[in-house]
Amino acid sequence: MNVKTIVFDLDGTLIDSKEDIADALNHTFGVMGYEPLPMSVIESFVGNGINPLIHRAVEAAGHMDREREVLEFFRERYWERLVVKTRLYDGVMETLEKLDGRYTMGLISNKPQRFTFKIVEELRLARFFDGAVYGGDTLPVKKPDPAALLAIAEKYGTAPEKMMIVGDSAVDVATGKNAGARTVGVTYGFRAAEELKEAGVEVMIDRFGDLLKVLGE
C-alpha cells in the first residue's frame, strides 16, 4: 500500500484494556447493589466511548433509572485504575518502533481525552504520535466522523488516500471510509472478524506485527 500516515485505534487494537474496564464497571455495579456483568458482555459494549458503554451496561442490567449515577461513579473508579491490568498486545511496541521514522503516525480513541492521554503516556506510546492523539471529546464529534482523521492528515500534510486507519471495529472502518483512507482491521481485538468484513474492511490481520507485511516492510 502507498501509505504515508498510519492512524491507530486504542482499545482492542494497541491495548487489551477489557479487564480494567470490566473491573471498574463491576465494582461500580457492586457499590450500587447490582449483579456483575460477564466479561463477554462488557467487551461487546466497548468501542464507542464511556457514555455509550455505561448506557448499554445499565440497559442490559435493567437499571436505566440510575444511569447518570453509574456513569459518574464508573468514571471516577476507572480513572483511578486505568492501567492496572491493561497491557499492549503482543508485537505492538516492536512494530511501532520499526514504523517510527518511516511513517507519520497518530491515534484516535472514543475514550475521553484525559483517559486516552494518560494511558498513552503510561504505556510509553506518546513518543510515536508527535501529539496527534485524539480522544472522543477532543473535537465536537468522534468516530466514525472523520474529523480527527482529517485533522491528522492536515497536521502531516498527507492526502487522505495516503492514510491508513488500523482498528478492531466497524466504527474504525467507517471512520477510514468516511475520510477516504485505507482500512486495516485486527481480528484479535474486541470485535469479531465478521463485523470487520461486513463493514467492508480492505485488509484483516491476525497479529499486530502483520501490519509490516501489509505495508511491504
**Quick one: 144 and 211 in the same domain?**
yes
Give all strands (DSSP E) within 69-109, no chain letters. Answer: 87-88, 104-108
* Average pLDDT value for residue range 95-122: 97
Domain final residue, candidates 80, 97, 122: 80
Q: Are strands 104-108 and 203-205 parallel, antiparallel or unpaired?
A: unpaired
Residue 49's pLDDT is: 83
**Quick one: 142 and 202 in the same domain?**
yes
- Tens-place pLDDT, residues 61-103: 888 888 999 999 999 999 999 999 999 999 999 999 999 999 9
- Tens-place pLDDT, residues 159-208: 999 999 999 999 999 999 999 999 999 999 998 899 999 999 999 999 99
Element (H, E) at 203: strand 203-205
* Average pLDDT value for residue range 147-154: 98
Domain final residue, candidates 34, 51, 80: 80
**Quick one: 50 and 139 in the same domain?**
no
> Could you tell me the CA-to-CA distances from 54 to 37, 49, 67, 175, 196 in Å, in that order?
12, 9, 7, 22, 24
The total number of structural domains in the chain stands at 2
**Quick one: 10 and 23 in the same domain?**
no
Write out the residue range of the structural domain in which residue 159 sits: 5-16+86-215
**Quick one: 93 and 174 in the same domain?**
yes
**Quick one: 135 and 192 in the same domain?**
yes
Choose the catalytic residue: 9, 23, 137, 172. 9
Q: Is 172 annotated in the active site?
A: no
Domain final residue, candidates 80, 98, 133: 80
**Quick one: 210 and 181 in the same domain?**
yes
CATH number reported for the structural domain that contains residue 50 in this entry:
1.10.150.240
